[in-house]
């Protein structure tokens, strides 16, 4: 038998609850599920985390208390006793340094004894030093030097009537007049000066080489100083004037004079001289 209720249509559509409807619902049970993203759920999260941490701490404490005493004793660090032998062994090395200090004191005495022979050996070296420099200090002067021409090997510098010429030398008087003494340069110690038997110096004046006594003037010292230069001939030198750079002694018409350098074979031959032992 059908009633009007059976003919009524039932709607199963879901409708969200309004605020008024929510207010009429009873509060959820404490032991039941709490919907997420609600004020109540947000308040319960910190409390739940604290409860879990407390439970974990209690479990850890119980497990530590249940550990056997032997195992805890085995893992405990071993501390040496205060009166152990190790401390005494570190204190004992304080005595050896005292003995070590005594050892250098004993060898310090032997060096004092050999110091006496050393002082006696010093006088033996002193006389050896003094004579050596005295002999070398007397060497700067050369006695007996003659100057021979390269392109006229039978002729040498020869002092005649106060002038220096290039002459053949035969007699004893000519050999004495052709022998000079070479000394350090009056104006430059790296160069040369030539003296005669009577103490005069060879100098250039009016560009002619002559012998004159020294007057002590700077001009004389420069005129009497000649610097050796390399020559194109083996064993020979060229003599350049100090106060006239570029002018060299050469023979012309067998007269020694000071002429400027010329790039000719004749000039190089006329200005090349060899210094030999004195003829006298």
**What is the rounded CA–CA span in Å between residue 122 and residue 119?**
5
The answer to whether residue 55 is domain-embedded is no
The answer to whether residue 197 is domain-embedded is yes
The answer to whether residue 203 is domain-embedded is yes
Q: Where are the alpha helices (DSSP H) in 195-280?
A: 218-223, 265-270
Strand, coil or helix: 193: strand
Residue 168: per-residue pLDDT: 95
**How many residues in total does the chain contain?**
280
The answer to whether residue 261 is domain-embedded is yes
Which range marks the domain in which residue 250 is found? 140-277
Other beta carbons less than 10 A from residue 95's beta carbon? 9
**What is the rounded CA–CA span in Å between residue 110 and residue 117?**
12
148, 178 contact by CB (below 8 A): no
Residue 50: per-residue pLDDT: 83
Residue 75: per-residue pLDDT: 54
Nearest one of 237, 246, 244 to 273, comparing CA atoms: 237
As to burial, measured by CB atoms within 10 angstroms (0-12 exposed, 13-18 middle, 19+ buried), residue 200 is middle
- The CATH number of whichever domain residue 159 belongs to comes to 2.80.10.50
Look up residue 13 and give its DSSP letter: -
Average pLDDT per 10 consecutive residues for the chain, totaling 280 residues: 56 54 52 61 76 81 63 53 47 46 43 41 40 36 83 96 95 95 97 96 98 97 98 97 98 97 97 95
Look up residue 5 and give its DSSP letter: H
Residue 208: per-residue pLDDT: 98
The answer to whether residue 116 is domain-embedded is no
Number of domains in the chain: 1
- Helix, strand, coil share (%) of the chain residues, nearest 5: 40, 25, 35
The answer to whether residue 2 is domain-embedded is no
The answer to whether residue 161 is domain-embedded is yes
The answer to whether residue 219 is domain-embedded is yes
- Residue 230: CB partners within 8 Å, gap ≥ 6? 237, 238
């Amino acid at each position: 038998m059908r009633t009007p209720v059976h003919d009524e249509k039932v709607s199963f559509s879901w409708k969200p609850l309004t605020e008024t409807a929510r207010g009429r619902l009873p509060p959820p049970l404490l032991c039941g599920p709490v919907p997420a993203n609600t004020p109540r759920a947000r308040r319960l999260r910190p409390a739940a985390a604290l409860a879990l941490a407390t439970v974990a701490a209690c479990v850890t404490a119980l497990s530590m208390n249940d550990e056997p005493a032997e195992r805890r004793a085995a893992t405990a660090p071993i501390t040496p006793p205060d009166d152990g032998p190790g401390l005494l062994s570190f204190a004992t090395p304080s005595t050896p340094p005292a003995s070590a200090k005594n050892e250098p004191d004993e060898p310090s005495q032997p060096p004092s004894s050999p110091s006496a022979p050393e002082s006696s050996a010093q006088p033996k070296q002193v006389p050896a030093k003094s004579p050596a420099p005295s002999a070398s200090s007397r060497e700067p002067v050369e006695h007996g030097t003659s100057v021979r021409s390269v392109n006229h090997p039978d002729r040498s510098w020869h002092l005649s009537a106060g002038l220096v010429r290039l002459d053949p030398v035969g007699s004893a008087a000519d050999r004495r007049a052709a022998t000079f003494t070479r000394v350090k340069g009056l104006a430059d110690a790296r160069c040369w000066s030539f003296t005669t038997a009577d103490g005069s110096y060879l100098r250039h004046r009016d560009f002619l080489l002559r012998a004159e006594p020294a007057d002590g003037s700077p001009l004389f010292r420069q005129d009497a100083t000649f610097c050796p230069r390399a020559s194109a001939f083996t064993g020979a030198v060229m003599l350049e004037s100090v106060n006239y750079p570029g002018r060299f002694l050469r023979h012309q018409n067998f007269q020694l004079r000071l002429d400027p350098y010329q790039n000719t074979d004749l000039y190089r031959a006329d200005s090349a001289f060899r210094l030999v032992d004195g003829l006298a």
